[in-house]
Amino acid sequence: MDVPGNLSLDDLKKAANAGEIDTVIVAGVDMQGRLIGKRFHVQNFLDSAWQETHCCNYLIATDMEMNTVQGYKSTSWAAGYGDYVMKADMATLRRIPWLEGTALVLCDLLDHHTHQDVPHSPRAILKRQVARANALGFDAMMATELEFYLFENSYEELRNCHQRTGQIRDLQAISAHNEDYQIFQTTKEEGVMRALRNGLYGAGIPVECSKGEADAGQEEINIRYSDALDTADNHVITKQATKEIAWANGHSVTFMAKYDHRRAGSSSHVHQSLWKKGKPAFQDAKGAHGMSDLMRHFLAGQLAHIQDITVFLAPYVNSYKRFTVGMFAPTKAVWSCDNRTAGFRVCGEGTKGIRVECRIGGADLNPYVAMAALLAAGLDGIERKLELEPELSGDLYQSAGTRPLPATLGEAAARMKASAMLNAAFGEDVIAHYHHAAMWEVSEHNRVVTDFELARLMERA
């Protein structure tokens, strides 16, 4: 298991005294999986802020545009939008090499009065399910494969275009060709990708590799397997690093699940296993495919509840446009061994690295709530000893009578709200909070006239 961060408080004091670090970013995580917080002068952080600071409690009740969405139980204008405590998790303190003189620490969000975790904050949701696994004697180990598109355009160019025309036009992918595993194509992108790999490594994040993905300008970055909380922390820092390093080099990136209907979508596959006393609990050399009964129950739980938890893997209206036949995004919630047309793929057959890969999540997911939902579903399968359905093989896009994924965000949100498993695992107030967020996304999408509608209907309707 990797140790998060690469700085102790004493290390930070020495770096500050040497003039190496003058700024500390103190950051929580919002509902969209973005870093939120403040930049402190290092001396103020060392004097007091490392113990706690504060933020407005609307930060985990806003939409992508930072609108103060009404209707949340946890916070509102009527309640006055008070404070949450930002409590630094000092185990996550690290240098940020791509920002001059800067360190970063991740925070838990606490109730101002009780100093208990805010139950609907993403980090708290995952910590609760990790504790549940620990109570059963297991360590939850995970990894995410994060995909994104890299563009020639800068964010400033795109913003100016939007301000002039109301639209983002002329996106130019950094590559002209499908670059899946192509070394020559990715050589052209090393100005960003090398800086990203080295920056992450310097920040104490155990980066493994980057590669070209399945379309022009599409990239993938992979971080080493770790415990679930560390993996989620590494994921959000990696997204932040990718945007900041691309911006610093005059480029832009998107983690949209589907930025163009003609292009492959961007995923965030989640690899999962449980370990017990340092040994892989999913491995059984005598079991079919090397799978233990525990692994079979875990996977059965995820299959049983996948339609209920899809909203955490695909949180926006756009997310559902990624589920397209023939573009390596699944459309059926079934399992298979080493088969990329299945929603769940069993990898590492016959080895201690045997694991479940969930291929359903997009790059737009919030890793904390996505992994918490997957873990909750899997643990329910273990607790109830659910039987695993038969493996399917072949082209599963064409399989008939199999469990489909929800087709829309509205459908997925309804499944989440009605899920007895999720309400018990996360708490009814937490589920109500995220259901409200999903329905706001639906309502915002429904009220906006799109380019597609204008082009299709203006003359011909």
Please determine, for residue 66, whether its predicted confidence score (pLDDT) is greater than 60.
yes
Average pLDDT on 338-362 reads 90
What separation in angstroms does the CA of 255 have from each of 22, 74, 283?
31, 28, 34
Residue 62 is classified by DSSP as: B
The pLDDT assigned to 3 comes to 52
C-beta separation of 126 from 228 below 8 A: yes
- In eight-state DSSP terms, residue 209 is E
CATH architecture of 130-448: 2-Layer Sandwich (3.30)
SS3 of residue 203 by DSSP: coil
Helix (H) or strand (E) holding 145: strand 139-151
Which stretches of 298-363 are assigned E, i.e. beta strand?
Answer: 335-337, 344-347, 355-358
The answer to whether residue 2 scores a pLDDT higher than 70 is no
β strands within 231-328, DSSP E: 252-254, 268-276, 279-280
**Do 9-118 and 130-448 have matching folds?**
no
- Burial 392-409, CB ≥16 within 10 A → b, else e: eeeebeebeeeeebbeeb
Q: How far are the Cα atoms of 63, 73, 75, 147 from residue 79, in angstroms, in the given order? A: 19, 10, 6, 39
- Residue 410 has a pLDDT of 97
**Higher pLDDT pick, 134 / 176:** 134
Q: What is the pLDDT of residues 206-231, one digit of tens each?
A: 999 999 998 999 999 999 999 999 99
Cα end-to-end distance, the chain, whole Å: 60
Question: Crossing angle, helix 228-248 and helix 122-135, to 10 degrees?
Answer: 150
The more confident residue out of 163 and 90 is 90
48: exposed, middle or buried (Cβ count in 10 Å: 0-12, 13-18, 19+): exposed
Write down the residue that tokens 């989620």 correspond to: 232
**In this predicted model, what pLDDT tens digit does every residue of 127-152 receive, in sequence order?**
999 999 999 999 999 999 999 999 99
The pLDDT score that the predictor gives to residue 5 is: 77
pLDDT band at 79 (very low <50, low <70, confident <90, very high): confident
User: Where exactly are the structural domains of the chain?
Assistant: 9-118, 130-448
Average pLDDT over residues 227-245: 98
Report the pLDDT averaged over residues 28-35. Answer: 97
Strand 355-358 and strand 102-111: the pairing is unpaired
Query: Element (H or E) spanning 424, and its range?
Result: helix 420-426
Q: Which CATH number fits domain 9-118: 1.10.540.10, 3.10.20.70, 3.30.420.40, 3.40.50.1970?
A: 3.10.20.70
Q: pLDDT tens-digit profile of 363-403?
A: 999 999 999 999 999 999 999 999 999 988 777 667 766 88
Q: Exposed/middle/buried for 16, CB within 10 Å: 0-12, 13-18, 19+? A: buried
**pTM for the structure as a whole:** 0.95
| Low-confidence winner among 106-120, 324-338, 426-440 (lowest mean pLDDT) | 324-338
Joined together, the tokens standing for residue 383 give 């607790």
Q: Which residue has the tokens 């933020």?
A: 55
Greatest mean pLDDT among 153-162, 319-328, 365-374 lies in 365-374
Asked if pLDDT for residue 192 goes beyond 60, the answer is yes
Radius of gyration of the chain from Cα atoms?
22
pLDDT at 1: 41
